[in-house]
């Protein structure tokens, strides 16, 4: 065993990961920027039938699909004649730990148990912590959750404090850290110390677990509406929710369904900043994760990220914090569903996008999350006010993340904003070249084909992007 300085531990990361994952990612690596994504998903993942069986053992999945009739009626009042798709929501809050993350945790904990690990560890400040802790209990595994919680004044977001409490309620050991990407260093040290399994969100298991969500919702929409969903709205952060759901849609044969990612716009706030940390009211589902993970997925806590959203995403929209809080209130007031704000990011975008669609079309919001003390819009808005954020009714167009939160004066002001997909794809290609030390004019045919699959565009588009980058 060598020393524990930051650089020494980071230097051992591959070796630590190999032990903590029970698999060697090297076997999927190819020449240059090549890597066998589907091979990895097949070899290390599980089939949809296996995942359904694993999840049934711990009561995960089979959540209700609820039609939001009043919100659909409101959207139709605002839309043009004949417009306003039927809006459905998949009530993922009814999973054991209160979010869709139970799906991801279920497969990781199953695998960890099969492989003989004594416990599981996850680095997360989100709902995933409670999901891993809950599933670990059902599989008789110990659990450690490493969270980024506090700024240097030791002030923490109420939402994250609640997520930590929930992990402790399930008997997990919770390591609470101040702001900074070196959380990964602590995570590696704990993996090494315990020999536990790295229940990363980004392994093939973590993604296979979500495929059932896309699969189930397709079956449910077919049963209720007699058609495939026309669009599925997915809150996007690390890309796993989108990737897994889209793969599930494909496995269910819903090939015509449009896959739309949605993130809260936090542009201008730095994710590693001690000052900005408590100036945001969303700790996940925002552009601060969504954009960097889209344009370079392999920044994750595993050697290769199984979440690769650009392979599946047809459209990516942003929405402001104030709009999501408005829709969270609307969901409680109109539909009788009190759910956590972060999960309602995709709902907010769906309310806007439904107005572009025809009345006979179907749009599905694929998650909700639990709510409670701390993880509630009144708690989060109180915290924002205490941290000097201006809160008012007005036009969400005037929002400045970190400075104000604007609750729309009128629901007609709720508007999903399209991100430029071409820019994201170009940025992905640029990052891929940079991180592999390759030049744009020197790629093999296989590498160009690989990039085409990575950004879900034909090879000639990849070639013209490569020319522009050159």
Partner 1 sequence: MNRTGKAVPSGTWVQIETTVLEPEERANHLPEETKKCPLMLWVKGFLEEDAEIGQEVTVRTIIGRSLKGKMIAVNPPYEHNFGRTIPELLTVGKELRDLIEGEG
Query: Is 62 an interacting residue with respect to partner 1 (CB under 8 A)?
Result: no
Cβ–Cβ < 8 Å for 164, 175: no
Helix, strand or coil for residue 468?
A: helix
Q: Is 199 exposed, middle or buried (0-12, 13-18, 19+ CB in 10 A)?
A: buried
Residue 89, token pair as written in the block = 């929501």
Query: Is 53 an interacting residue with respect to partner 1 (CB under 8 A)?
Result: no
Q: Which stretch binds partner 1 (CB under 8 A): 26-34, 155-163, 225-233, 456-464?
A: 155-163
Residues 1-20 that bind partner 1 (CB under 8 A): 5-6
Nearest CA to 86 out of 104, 99, 67 is that of 67
Q: Which of 18, 29, 67, 186 binds partner 1 (CB under 8 A)?
A: 186
Query: Is 317 an interacting residue with respect to partner 1 (CB under 8 A)?
Result: no
Rounded CA-CA distance 228/41 in Å is 25
Query: Is 155 an interacting residue with respect to partner 1 (CB under 8 A)?
Result: no
CA dihedral 334, 335, 336, 340 (to 10 degrees): -100
Query: Is 275 an interacting residue with respect to partner 1 (CB under 8 A)?
Result: yes
Query: Is 272 an interacting residue with respect to partner 1 (CB under 8 A)?
Result: yes
For partner 1 (CB under 8 A), the number of binding residues is: 65
Nearer to partner 1, 333 or 470 (CB): 333
Query: Is 407 an interacting residue with respect to partner 1 (CB under 8 A)?
Result: yes
Helix, strand or coil for residue 420?
A: coil
What Rg, from alpha-carbon coordinates, does the chain have? 21
Q: Which of 39, 64, 181, 268 binds partner 1 (CB under 8 A)?
A: 181
Query: Is 89 an interacting residue with respect to partner 1 (CB under 8 A)?
Result: no
Rounded CA-CA distance 300/302 in Å is 6
Q: Min. distance of Cβ 264 from partner 1 in angstroms? A: 17
Q: Min. distance of Cβ 82 from partner 1 in angstroms? A: 14
**Residue 168 CB neighbours (<10 A):** 14
Q: Min. distance of Cβ 183 from partner 1 in angstroms? A: 8
Query: Is 270 an interacting residue with respect to partner 1 (CB under 8 A)?
Result: yes
Q: Which stretch binds partner 1 (CB under 8 A): 31-39, 54-62, 288-296, 381-389?
A: 381-389
Query: Is 37 an interacting residue with respect to partner 1 (CB under 8 A)?
Result: no
Residues 382-401 that bind partner 1 (CB under 8 A): 382-383, 385, 391-393
Rounded CA-CA distance 105/143 in Å is 12
| Buried/exposed code over 410-441 (b: 16+ C-beta within 10 A; e: otherwise) | ebebbbbeebebeebbbbbbbbbbeeeeeeee
Q: Which stretch binds partner 1 (CB under 8 A): 49-57, 170-178, 361-369, 440-448?
A: 170-178
Q: Which of 67, 274, 298, 356 binds partner 1 (CB under 8 A)?
A: 274
Q: Which of 34, 177, 225, 250 binds partner 1 (CB under 8 A)?
A: 177
Query: Is 435 an interacting residue with respect to partner 1 (CB under 8 A)?
Result: no
Q: Min. distance of Cβ 379 from partner 1 in angstroms? A: 4
**Residue 1 CB neighbours (<10 A):** 5
Q: Which stretch binds partner 1 (CB under 8 A): 22-30, 159-167, 439-447, 448-456?
A: 159-167
Q: Which stretch binds partner 1 (CB under 8 A): 34-42, 142-150, 353-361, 416-424?
A: 142-150
Q: Min. distance of Cβ 144 from partner 1 in angstroms? A: 7
**Residue 257 CB neighbours (<10 A):** 25
Nearer to partner 1, 69 or 227 (CB): 69
Q: Show the CA angle centred on residue 340, arms to residues 134 and 108, nearest 5°.
A: 30
Rounded CA-CA distance 464/265 in Å is 30
Q: Which of 325, 370, 428, 450 binds partner 1 (CB under 8 A)?
A: 325
Query: Is 345 an interacting residue with respect to partner 1 (CB under 8 A)?
Result: no
Query: Is 161 an interacting residue with respect to partner 1 (CB under 8 A)?
Result: yes
Rounded CA-CA distance 51/45 in Å is 9
Q: Which long-range contacts (CB under 8 A, 24 or more apart) does 384-392 make?
A: 384/281, 387/278, 387/279, 388/279, 389/279, 389/281
Query: Is 273 an interacting residue with respect to partner 1 (CB under 8 A)?
Result: yes
Cβ–Cβ < 8 Å for 198, 191: yes
Q: Which of 47, 140, 267, 378 binds partner 1 (CB under 8 A)?
A: 378
Nearest CA to 90 out of 285, 344, 310 is that of 344
Query: Is 434 an interacting residue with respect to partner 1 (CB under 8 A)?
Result: no
Cβ–Cβ < 8 Å for 102, 131: yes
Q: Which of 11, 171, 195, 388 binds partner 1 (CB under 8 A)?
A: 171
Q: Which of 43, 53, 77, 403 binds partner 1 (CB under 8 A)?
A: 77
**Residue 259 CB neighbours (<10 A):** 26
Cβ–Cβ < 8 Å for 368, 90: yes
User: By the criterion CB under 8 A, which residues form the site for partner 1?
Assistant: 5-6, 70, 73-74, 77-78, 119, 142-144, 149-150, 152, 154, 158, 161-162, 165, 168, 171-182, 185-186, 193-194, 270, 272-275, 325-326, 329-330, 332-334, 373-374, 376-383, 385, 391-393, 407, 410-411
């Amino acid at each position: 065993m060598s020393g524990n300085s930051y650089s020494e531990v980071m230097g051992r990361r591959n070796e630590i990961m190999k032990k903590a994952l029970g698999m060697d990612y090297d076997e999927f690596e190819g020449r240059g920027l090549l890597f066998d994504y589907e091979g990895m998903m097949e070899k290390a993942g599980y089939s949809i039938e296996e995942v359904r069986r694993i999840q049934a053992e711990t009561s995960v999945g089979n959540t209700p699909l609820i039609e939001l009739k009043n919100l659909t009626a409101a959207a139709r009042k605002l839309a043009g004649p004949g417009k306003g798709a039927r809006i459905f929501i998949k009530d993922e809050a009814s999973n054991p730990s209160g979010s869709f993350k139970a799906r991801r945790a279920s497969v990781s904990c199953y695998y960890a148990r099969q492989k003989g690990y004594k416990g599981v560890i996850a680095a997360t400040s989100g709902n995933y912590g409670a999901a891993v802790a809950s599933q670990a209990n059902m599989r008789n595994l110990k659990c450690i959750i490493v969270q980024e919680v506090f700024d240097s004044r030791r002030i923490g977001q109420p939402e994250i404090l609640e997520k930590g409490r929930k992990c402790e309620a399930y008997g997990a050991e919770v390591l609470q850290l101040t702001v900074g990407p070196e959380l990964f260093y602590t995570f590696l040290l704990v993996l090494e110390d315990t020999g536990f399994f790295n229940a990363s969100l980004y392994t093939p298991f973590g993604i296979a677990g979500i495929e059932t969500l896309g699969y189930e919702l397709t079956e449910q929409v077919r049963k209720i509406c007699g058609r495939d969903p026309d669009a599925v709205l997915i809150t996007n952060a690390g890309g796993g929710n989108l990737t897994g759901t889209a793969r599930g849609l494909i496995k269910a044969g819903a090939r015509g369904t449009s896959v739309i990612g949605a993130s809260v716009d936090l542009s201008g706030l730095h994710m590693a900043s001690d000052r900005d940390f408590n100036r945001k009211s969303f700790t996940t589902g925002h552009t601060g994760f969504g954009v960097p993970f889209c344009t370079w997925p392999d920044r994750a806590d595993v050697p290769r990220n199984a979440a690769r959203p650009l392979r599946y995403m047809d459209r990516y929209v942003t929405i402001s914090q104030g709009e999501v809080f408005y829709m969270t209130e609307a969901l409680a007031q109109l539909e009788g569903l009190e759910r956590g704000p972060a999960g309602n990011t995709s709902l907010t975008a769906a309310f806007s996008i439904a107005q572009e669609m025809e009345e006979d079309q179907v749009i599905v919001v694929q998650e909700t999350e639990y709510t409670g003390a701390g993880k509630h819009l009144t708690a989060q808005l109180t915290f924002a006010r205490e941290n000097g954020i201006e809160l008012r009714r007005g036009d969400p167009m005037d929002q400045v993340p970190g400075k104000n939160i604007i609750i729309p004066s009128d629901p007609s002001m709720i508007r999903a904003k399209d991100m430029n997909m071409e820019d994201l794809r170009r940025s992905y290609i640029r990052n891929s070249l940079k991180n592999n030390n390759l030049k744009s004019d020197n790629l093999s045919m296989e590498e160009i084909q690989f990039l085409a699959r990575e950004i879900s565009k034909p090879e000639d588009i990849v070639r013209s992007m490569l020319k522009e980058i050159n």
